[in-house]
Each structure stands twice: as structure tokens, then as C-alpha cells.
Amino acid sequence: MSKSLFPETRMRRNRSDKFIRNLVRENVVSVDDVIYPVFILPGKNNSEDISSMPGIQRLSVDLILPILEDLHKKGLNAIAIFPVVDSSEKSEGAEEAYNSNGLVQETIKIIKKEIPELGIISDVALDPYTTSGQDGIIDKNGNVLNDETIQVLAKQALSHAESGADIVAPSDMMDGRILKIRETLESNDFTNTKILSYAAKYASNLYGPFRDAVNSTNSLKGASKDTYQMDFANTEEARNEVELDVEEGADIVMVKPGLHYLDVISKIKNKFNIPVFAYHVSGEYSMIKAAANSGYLDEKKVVLETMTCFKRSGANAVLTYFAKDIINWIG
Ligand code: PBG
């Protein structure tokens, strides 16, 4: 059947009034689409601003709990926890990463006790714990050692599961870590602990504010993560990464960063039958915030448009530092 042409067809007819625009809309953002990343400080009653992320703070768990309780009541499903680790606890072997009484582990236990139904996603990577600021163990020449690192990541993931994490999320990009973590979880009876694999994580320039937030910028001393994070020029490689992680046992895959990578989300979504999450990263947050604070953009409208675009690309959920605002706007 050939499509009738103008004037029988007028695309504007279905845009003429609000009611019809509402009826033909293809994608809608809801509170079920957002995950809130939080930066945790040790101790009590501690809060610090993050200068490169206006509006976001590092908080000790006692201060974050009331915020999470409120958001959970309004519909927040899950948070992603990132620790701010004191430099005295960093080491070459990143032993603190799997300390069963470490900051992340204790935080998970407290939040699970107070808000049991709030999903907890824990970051599995060594960068908060290494003196080098790299996501893995390095040799004397500074090379990140893959096979040594995944042993430590498996211990870290297990310690998170033991503390009550619902989803462990390896963000390190080592090869073979999904299989190693899956085997470790299964053999310790954590059969329901989900693995959210940062399968297509790019060596992006948009992580700067996050590295400030977790104090890893200084440790990195200008070094890059190019030998393990993906080249941002590539998409076929992303499909390869996802395929391997699915075979190794990932339950959900992540594409990171977000908005510049919607093509990657869409291709993965079309090819694989697996949920895809997107990470709207710190640099993306800070860009919108800076423009909004200067009066150049309408923050609420731009953020809700951004979230809708993630949905349009096929993302099932989005990690975003705007989650609190979004839930307060639409929850
Ligand atoms: C590292 C990690 C990074 C982010 C989350 N986990 C940064 C990096 O790879 O250096 C970035 C998130 C953001 O920018 O919001 N494991």
C-alpha cells in the first residue's frame, strides 16, 4: 500500500492539540526509569559539596537515609553506591575493597536494614581503593593486570552480596570478570544476586566530576584508562563486549556514558534480548547544571527531555544524578 501524499497526509494533524499529542506519544518517563547514584562519606553527620557537581553532595549514611526514605516513598526503586575512601585506606593491592566492615559494606547493611525494599546496586571496581586510582592492580610499569584484578573483584563482589547488595555492578572493564563473579556468587549460594555489567564503558572525557567526587583524580596523576575502557570511536566492539558478558552471565548490561552514546544503546537493544541500562554520567550532569545555573537552559525541561530520549533509544533505566529532582517533579 502506498502512502497517500499531501494534502491527504498532513503530519501536523496529530500534533494539533495537546490531547492528541498525549495519545500518540511513544515514550514516557516514569519514576520506574531512574536510579540514583550516591556518594558516601564515612562517619556521622558529614556532608561535603562537590564543586564540579553543583547540587550534589557527598554524605555520611545517617544523612543520606532520610533522603532515600523520602524518595523511596515517592517511588525510587534503586540506588547505586559510590564510596569516598580516605587516602589512608588506599593501597596497591586494594585490600579495603573487600573488607567486610568497609564503608560500602557497612552502608549497604544499614540501608538494607532501614529500607529493605530499596534496591541496592554496588560498584565493583578498585579505583576508589588503589593508590594509582586505576580500576585494577598495576605492575611496576603501571600496567593494569587483568587476571590478578578479577580475583580481587570477585572478592569485592562477594563481600557486597554478603552485606545485602541486590545487584553487583562491575564497572572496571577487565576481561572475564563477569564469569569469575558469577561463579563466585553461585558457589556461595547468592543465586539471586544480579550482575549489572558495565559492558560498554567508554574511555570518556565526561567522568571528570565523578573522579573529583570520589577523590581519584589526584591518584590518577593524569594517567588514562585507555587500556581497558573502550575507544569512543567504536560500536561493533560494544556489541562484542555485550555478547561476551551475556555469555558469561550478566543479567543486565550498561552503556556508559549516556546521551552521546544513544546509538550504542539502540544497537545493543536491537541485537540482544537483555535489559540495557544507561549511565547519564557526571560530566553530562554538570553540563546541564552549569547551563541551567547560568540561565541558558530550563533545567527541568531539558532533564525530562533527556530522560525521554534515553527511553526512545531503548534504555530500560537510567542512572542519573538528577534522579532526586526527577522523582520530585514527576513522582
Ligand atoms: C570507575 C567509575 C567511573 C564512573 C563510575 N565508576 C569513572 C571512571 O571510569 O574513571 C564515572 C561515573 C560518572 O562520571 O558519573 N569505576
Find where cell 500518540 sits: 24
Q: Which residues pair with 317 in a beta bridge?
A: 277
The per-residue pLDDT for 216 is 83
Residues lower than pLDDT 50 in the chain: none
The per-residue pLDDT for 1 is 61
Cβ neighbours of residue 6 under 8 Å, at least 6 residues apart? Answer: none
Query: DSSP alpha helices (H): ranges in 74-187?
Result: 103-114, 146-163, 177-187
The per-residue pLDDT for 217 is 82
The per-residue pLDDT for 140 is 95
pTM over 0.85: yes
Instruction: Determine whether 201 is an active site residue.
Output: yes
The span from the CA of 69 to the CA of 78, in Å, is 11
Cα distances (Å, whole numbers) of residue 65 to 90, 111, 203, 329, 330: 26, 7, 33, 20, 21
Cα distances (Å, whole numbers) of residue 58 to 43, 45, 48, 67, 278: 12, 11, 5, 13, 22
Report CA torsion sign: 233, 169, 105, 177: negative
User: Measuring from atom 6 of ligand 1, which residue has the nearest CA?
Assistant: 171
Express each pLDDT in 113-164 by its tens digit: 999 999 999 999 999 999 999 999 999 999 999 999 999 999 999 999 999 9
User: Measuring from atom 11 of ligand 1, which residue has the nearest CA?
Assistant: 207
How many percent of the chain have pLDDT more than 70?
Answer: 99
Cβ neighbours of residue 20 under 8 Å, at least 6 residues apart? Answer: 13, 14
Mutating to test ligand 1, I would choose from 127, 156, 217, 232 the residue with most ligand atoms within 8 A of its C-beta, which is 127
Tell me if 171 CB under 6 Å of ligand 1: yes
Max Cα–Cα distance, the chain, nearest Å = 72
Ligand 1 atom with the smallest distance to the CA of 207 is: 14
Find where cell 549511565 sits: 279
Cβ neighbours of residue 77 under 8 Å, at least 6 residues apart? Answer: 31, 32, 34, 35, 118, 119, 317
- Tell me the CA–centroid distance for residue 211 and ligand 1, in Å: 7
